[in-house]
């Protein structure tokens, strides 16, 4: 698997770099970003935090807005941010140009319905292809954690629950916690997977929690002034499911915070230190 470096910036003694590569899983060219802490200069292999972004985002939003590099450089943790969907000529998009389906809205599932199943296999990309690429080309270990925001928070929690042996810890900001029961999730899962709602359950964190037998330590932050709180995110469903199986989830309701990167930047250090407990 070959990669091409398209940009690089020194940051807190480490490096932020963007790469492109051809994805066999997604059947298109993809871009990802990686922050490499200064520890790699000493020949040290470092663990990786994978960050999954939300609707309309790309690899750039987190790296430019979250302010994670300073502490990641201090702790010695690499950060990898993939795009949120396949892109490029021939990749299907919502015919009405909606922001919550198609380009920028892959929802971290493997689509089964045409035309989406030709490209939209973000679950396999995040779980298998991208980590294999990162571990082949960069001085990183096989210690992984995963985190994300909104649609990406859904992706991080769901992926960790389905792959507990691959991730040491998981965290999320404002995750779509119960997508089978919210408008964003119903649109995306129905479009990518079809009308059989039983096939949706494998991608729903709340439903997966109810049957979990191998927990991954989890931290979730949710703002109380998030405009999507009640209709789309449903943290109460997440909390109830975790409580029903005594899952090690810490859910923090942060007074006055909204859905933006101002919220993420306010608490990203907490999340990095949380993951460091298990990665280092």
Is position 150 annotated as part of the catalytic site? yes
From residue 260, give the alpha-carbon distance in Å to each of 35, 165, 263.
Answer: 22, 31, 6
Q: Measured between alpha carbons, how far is 8 from 46 in angstroms, rounded to an integer?
A: 19
Half-sphere CA count of 274, side-chain side, radius 13 A: 21
26: left (phi over 0), alpha (psi -120 to 50) or beta: alpha
The catalytically annotated residue of 204, 226, 237, 271 is: 226
Task: Identify whether the C-beta of residue 202 lies closer than 8 Å to the C-beta of residue 189.
Answer: no
From residue 80, give the alpha-carbon distance in Å to each of 132, 144, 192.
Answer: 12, 10, 25
Write the DSSP symbol of residue 247: -
Q: Measured between alpha carbons, how far is 51 from 61 in angstroms, rounded to an integer?
A: 11
Is position 59 annotated as part of the catalytic site? no
* Burial (0-12, 13-18, 19+ Cβ within 10 Å), 6: exposed
List the catalytic residues: 150, 226, 259
């Amino acid at each position: 698997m070959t990669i091409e470096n398209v940009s690089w910036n020194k940051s807190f003694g480490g490096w932020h770099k963007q790469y492109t590569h051809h994805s066999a899983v997604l059947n298109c060219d993809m871009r990802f970003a990686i922050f490499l802490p200064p520890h790699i200069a000493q020949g040290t292999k470092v663990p990786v935090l994978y960050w999954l972004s939300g609707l309309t985002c790309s690899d750039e939003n987190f790296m430019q807005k979250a302010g994670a590099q300073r502490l990641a450089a201090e702790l010695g943790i690499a950060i990898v941010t993939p795009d949120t969907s396949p892109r490029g000529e021939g990749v299907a998009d919502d015919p009405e140009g909606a922001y919550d389906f198609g380009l920028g809205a892959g929802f971290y599932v493997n689509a089964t319905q045409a035309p989406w199943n030709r490209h939209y296999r973000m679950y396999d990309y995040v779980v298998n292809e991208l980590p294999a690429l990162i571990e082949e080309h960069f001085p990183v270990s096989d210690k992984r954690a995963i985190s994300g925001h909104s649609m990406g928070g859904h992706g991080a929690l769901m992926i960790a629950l389905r792959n507990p042996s691959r991730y040491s810890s998981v965290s999320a900001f404002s995750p779509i916690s119960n997508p089978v029961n919210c408008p964003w999730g119903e649109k995306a899962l129905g479009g990518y997977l079809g009308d059989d709602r039983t096939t949706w359950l494998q991608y729903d964190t709340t439903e997966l929690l109810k049957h979990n037998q191998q927990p991954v330590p989890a931290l979730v932050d949710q703002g109380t002034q998030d405009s999507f709180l009640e209709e789309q995110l449903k943290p109460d469903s997440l909390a109830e499911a975790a409580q029903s199986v005594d899952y090690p989830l810490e859910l923090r309701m942060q007074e006055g915070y909204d859905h933006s990167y101002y919220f993420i930047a306010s608490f990203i250090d907490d999340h990095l230190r949380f993951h460091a407990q298990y990665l280092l």
